[in-house]
Amino acid sequence: MNREKYSRQLLFREIGEAGQERLRQSRVLVIGCGALGAAQVEMLARAGVGFLRLVDRDFVEESNLQRQIMFEERDALERLPKAIACARRVARINSDVRAEAVVADVNEKNIERLIADVDLVLDGTDNFETRYLINDACVKHEKPWIYGAAVGAYGLTMTIRPGITPCLRCVFEKIPPPGSSPTCDTAGIILPIVLFIASIQVTEAIKLLIGRTEKLHSGLIQVDAWEMSVHRVSLQQVRERADCPACHHRRFEFLEVGRRQSALTLCGRNAVHISSAGDVSLDLREIAERLKPLGEVTLKEFLLVFRVNGYELNLFPDGHCIIKGTEDMTLARSLYARYIGM
């Protein structure tokens, strides 16, 4: 172990040498490398967590830079996939850490494989569909995971230890339908709340990884950075009293294949996400050649950008696509079918 590198963390007695060694041996999955995810990755990498698997389906854009601390202007110009940009930055921050980038949409087909060999899952997603999927997979396989979300100057977080604490479905029974969540609008967000919530999540992560579970906050934490208030709701007995499909009935409906919509409107972005049809690996170069006569094609390192009739298709090698310029899922599907093929 490089004692100099971690000297200040080693001096913190709650971690010490034994804790540092456990961090080095730990494996963490971060799902979603946006604002929260990037902040988590930065802290975990600096803390010396040995292995990080970074999963994200999106690419870096200029509007991300105000709050997504792992990215720089050139990443946005390059439209670098966020998972790749994060992994590259981890390599520059701390060469002790192995970062594996996965540019993909997390879904019922890959979630169980993604969590299989990690100790902990951190939530950096921006949608409930994926969170309930993570929740089902983690409850099923008894993996701890840490929910976090932020909007405006407000955020929530909760640490879930299957079998011990309530899970996300014990606390929030139902997934908010798209557009109905009180936050799915033009609320905006400031970076400090992102770092606030990510800091709570990563502190919890460290405690979990080094085995200091008695120190976990074991509640639902609500932070309002603007009013500077932190509220903790105790979740004692919620697990026992909630008739949870996942915890009590071992019914994992979010893991059922085909449950998910193939197209999803990305809230507030005037864009639609189209899922990959299955295990495919596209030859973007070949598709670029085919599309050139039909519109403007730009081939980036990890994705293909195709502009046609005011729409912009961003196609990834695994077949998933972000279509900008519309929130109409049917239209987006037909654009995908017409130009990429289903």
Partner 1 sequence: MSVTVRIPQPLRRFTENRDVIELSAGTVGEALEQLERQYPGITERLRESDGQLRRFVNIYVDGEDIRFLNGLATELRDGMEVSIIPAIAGGSAL
Q: Give the footprint of partner 1 on this chain (CB under 8 A).
A: 34-36, 63, 67, 125-128, 148-156, 171-176, 180-189, 194, 220, 222, 224, 226-227, 229, 231, 233-234, 237-238, 241-242, 266-269
User: What is the pairing mode between strands 51-56 and 27-31?
Assistant: parallel
CB of 52 vs partner 1, minimal distance in Å: 20
Measured from the CB atom, is 9 or 222 closer to partner 1?
A: 222
CB of 9 vs partner 1, minimal distance in Å: 28
Measured from the CB atom, is 10 or 266 closer to partner 1?
A: 266
Measured from the CB atom, is 89 or 239 closer to partner 1?
A: 239
What distance in Å separates the CA atoms of residue 18 and residue 22, rounded to the nearest whole number? Answer: 6
Cβ neighbours around 198 below 10 Å, total: 29
CB of 35 vs partner 1, minimal distance in Å: 5
Measured from the CB atom, is 42 or 119 closer to partner 1?
A: 42
Measured from the CB atom, is 77 or 233 closer to partner 1?
A: 233
Measured from the CB atom, is 14 or 185 closer to partner 1?
A: 185
What distance in Å separates the CA atoms of residue 68 and residue 89, rounded to the nearest whole number? Answer: 13
Measured from the CB atom, is 181 or 213 closer to partner 1?
A: 181
Strands of the sheet containing 271-274, edge to edge, are: 263-266, 271-274, 321-324, 311-315, 304-308, 296-299
Q: Which residues, in sequence order, are CB contacts of 2 under 8 Å at separation 6+?
A: 96
In three-state form (DSSP H/G/I as H, E/B as E, the rest C), the secondary structure along 200-247 is HHHHHHHHHHCCCHHHCCCEEEEEECCCCEEEEEECCCHHHHCCCCCC
Q: In which element (H, E) is residue 149 found?
A: strand 145-151
CB of 158 vs partner 1, minimal distance in Å: 10
Cβ neighbours around 333 below 10 Å, total: 17
CB of 299 vs partner 1, minimal distance in Å: 26
Q: At residue 35, what are phi and psi to the nearest 5 degrees? A: -65, -60
CB of 71 vs partner 1, minimal distance in Å: 13
Q: Which residues, in sequence order, are CB contacts of 213 under 8 Å at separation 6+?
A: 161, 207
CB of 145 vs partner 1, minimal distance in Å: 15
Q: Which amino acid is at 162?
A: P
